[in-house]
Structure 1
Amino acid sequence: MKNRTVINIAEIAKRTLRLEAAAIDDLQQYINEDFEQAVDLIAQCGGRVVVSGIGKSAIIGQKIVATLNSTGTPSIFMHAADAIHGDLGMIQENDVILCISKSGNSPEIKVLVPLVKNFGNKLIAMVGNTGSFLAQEADILLNTSVSQEACPNNLAPTTSTTAQLAMGDALAVCLIEWHGFSAADFAKFHPGGTLGKKLYLKVGDLSRLHQAPKVLLNSTLKEIIVAISSGMLGVTAVLKDNGELAGIITDGDLRRMLEKNIPADSVTAAGIMSAHPKTIQEDELAINALEKMRQHDITQLLVLKDKRYIGIIHLHDLIREGII
């Protein structure tokens, strides 16, 4: 048995990646009329994509199903071996069948294909052998042929499954474009986790968790300190008598004021505030607040509803929600 002193691990890994990258690049020659027909058929079928396969191709099929579902194309997975033991019942009239196989001649595939055709459903074959049973019986052929596997014995599905995965992604992305599937649509299907929060969490959702500290232009130093302390965000908004936003005071502004030895009884909010605070609308995405904070190297933004001050969003809010 070889050990790491005999084999060159780095070179083997690099060779594997080169072979798989080349296989994906070669797929471009198979993006043809059949591929376009497959996209058209799926986009207009009125049903779902039922993806089936056996072995490693079945695993790739499950990933393709997950990608299609998350990008607006309803899909389900049906294992080729289970199909003939009852799972064929999941196929509905308007469904399109996508069968994935490297050889196209697996016994399970040979049993499944005639049954699907008897149902009258259209069959798309994603196959690495264009002369196979599956390729010949399919209505549409997606060619995922590869010249060799990355496996040194040219046996273990490596390059071939990479090609299947890439072809599935190509289908999914074309369908995204076909349906005009937007980031807002994507958010509907991804409400959980960091990704979902980046796509749907609004500034107002976070600012409402805090008080909205505020003082007036003529507020005293004591009133300013109380407002900043009560909000526990190190900041307060400064408002005009009519309620319009006039400025912002941070705890840093207070420190700089104290360093100047200004008499405390002469301090007003108008005298120490910054007159042009950075703001953001409540209906903007929280991820946009993060970008604005990064752009201006600050840790909080005043939140507005139209032109009215309603609260504060802080960097800590974004960290707590996993946006960062």
Structure 2
Amino acid sequence: MTTHLSTVNFCHFQKTGKAVLQVVREGLQQLDQYINEDFVRACEIIYHCRGKVIVMGIGKSGHIGKKIASTFASTGTPSFFIHPTEANHGDLGMVCSNDIVIAISNSGESLEILTLIPILKRRQILLICMTSRPNSRMAYAAEVHICVKVPQEACSLGLVPTSSSTATLVMGDALAIALLKAKKFTKEDFALSHPGGALGRKLLMRVDSIMRIGDSLPCLPPDASLHQALLKMTSKKIGAIVICHKNNIIQGIFTDGDLRRLLDVGTNINMHNIHISTVMTPVGIRISPDTLVVDAINIMKSKNITCIMIAQNNKLTGLVHIHDILRTNTI
């Protein structure tokens, strides 16, 4: 059916959109009553699960179930999604005796799931169901039933899963976050399941993976001249040079900031005769190779420096410049 633009009242788009949001908000407010003893029991079952949490759902419930399983998996609760139709044709073999199943259906009467329940019961696999109907067959069959009933769908026809699917999604998030807190799940734990993302790089990357080593390190002995130090700094393009004794034992560091302060004094300096050890910053700031990059950048910011030495037992192992960190996209 073709609709002529001249007959469309575009103001209705905004009005309808706001009406949808209002219906969904009211539905979520009703959801609060279902964070009850059943919710607590479901959390306990999942918390003590020695296997995986298998989420099932079909249609819109399946799409929501996939997201819930993904959220569980990324927050410390091993989980994956199985499509009920595929489960009826062999994929049920993926479910092991230590697993539990969360089955999602708005009506609680999804035949694809109902046909699986006798097998799950026979195998003594615990079943948690999320439906909008406490009197449904799925609700009666479950060890725990979590109600996700909403007053109405946001669809003007009252048919399209809108408020109900949002409520189910939010209830799944509530379960996942309640378990996250109970398991004392940390940012570092989260990063371990997201190594490819920005947070993973930020929380997992250590300075020993990006530090400059070997020939790229600007090093000189204490008796080197200031002139030699400046040439070395220029050739390495890092704006700093580390002064080391034999075996790379750190004595100090000289940076372009030290050079500016030295020149600001206004005294005549013979760069060929003065030893770098007399104008360096003794000791210097250093961190261990296993320091996280995010911690290194915080130290550099607090000390107002652009590079930092990496050392172990006072022995230089590397050097990290702010540019090295910027290339990692961790800040």
The normalised TM-score by structure 2 is 0.83
Alpha-carbon distance between aligned partners in 2 of 1:269 and 1:115, rounded to the nearest angstrom:
79
The Cα of 1:198 is off from its aligned counterpart by 1.9
The counterpart of 2:225, out of the listed 220, 227, 231, is: 220
List per-residue Cα deviations over 1:244-298 (Å, max 9, x = no partner). Answer: 5444322344355456463333543245434574432221111111222333443
Q: 1:74 to 1:5 in 2, by over 3 A?
A: closer
The Cα of 1:323 is off from its aligned counterpart by 1.0
Alpha-carbon distance between aligned partners in 2 of 1:284 and 1:257, rounded to the nearest angstrom:
32
Alpha-carbon distance between aligned partners in 2 of 1:16 and 1:306, rounded to the nearest angstrom:
64
> What is aligned with 1:231?
236
Kindly report which structure 2 residues correspond to 1:73-112, keeping only aligned pairs within 5 A, or say none. 73-112=77-116
* Paired residue secondary structure (2:103): strand
The Cα of 1:226 is off from its aligned counterpart by 3.3
Alpha-carbon distance between aligned partners in 2 of 1:245 and 1:23, rounded to the nearest angstrom:
65
> Is 1:39–1:175's contact at 8 Å kept on the other side of the alignment?
yes
Amino acid at match of 1:72: G
Amino acid at match of 2:48: Q
List per-residue Cα deviations over 1:177-220 (Å, max 9, x = no partner). Answer: 34344444434333323232222211122215563323344431
The Cα of 1:79 is off from its aligned counterpart by 0.9
Q: 1:15 to 1:216 in 2, by over 3 A?
A: farther
Stretch of structure 1 that moved more, 295-304 or 270-279: 270-279
Alpha-carbon distance between aligned partners in 2 of 1:155 and 1:66, rounded to the nearest angstrom:
27
> What is aligned with 1:265?
272
* Paired residue secondary structure (2:320): strand
> What is aligned with 1:171?
175
> What is aligned with 2:319?
312
Kindly report which structure 2 residues correspond to 1:237-252, keeping only aligned pairs within 5 A, or say none. 237-239=242-244, 245-252=250-257
* Paired residue secondary structure (1:28): helix
1:294 counterpart = 2:270: no
The Cα of 1:55 is off from its aligned counterpart by 0.7
* Paired residue secondary structure (1:322): coil
Q: How many residues align?
A: 323
Unaligned runs of 5+ in 1: none
1:279 counterpart = 2:286: yes
The counterpart of 1:136, out of the listed 123, 136, 140, is: 140
> Is 1:212–1:310's contact at 8 Å kept on the other side of the alignment?
no
Q: CA RMSD in A?
A: 3.0
Amino acid at match of 1:7: H
The counterpart of 1:202, out of the listed 179, 201, 206, is: 206
Amino acid at match of 1:91: V
Amino acid at match of 1:232: K
1:254 counterpart = 2:259: yes
Q: 1:277 to 1:222 in 2, by over 3 A?
A: same
The Cα of 1:19 is off from its aligned counterpart by 4.4
Q: 1:315 to 1:26 in 2, by over 3 A?
A: farther
Amino acid at match of 2:89: H
> Is 1:213–1:311's contact at 8 Å kept on the other side of the alignment?
no
Alpha-carbon distance between aligned partners in 1 of 2:223 and 2:25, rounded to the nearest angstrom:
67
* Paired residue secondary structure (1:197): helix
Unaligned runs of 5+ in 2: none
* Paired residue secondary structure (1:207): coil
> Is 2:114–2:138's contact at 8 Å kept on the other side of the alignment?
yes
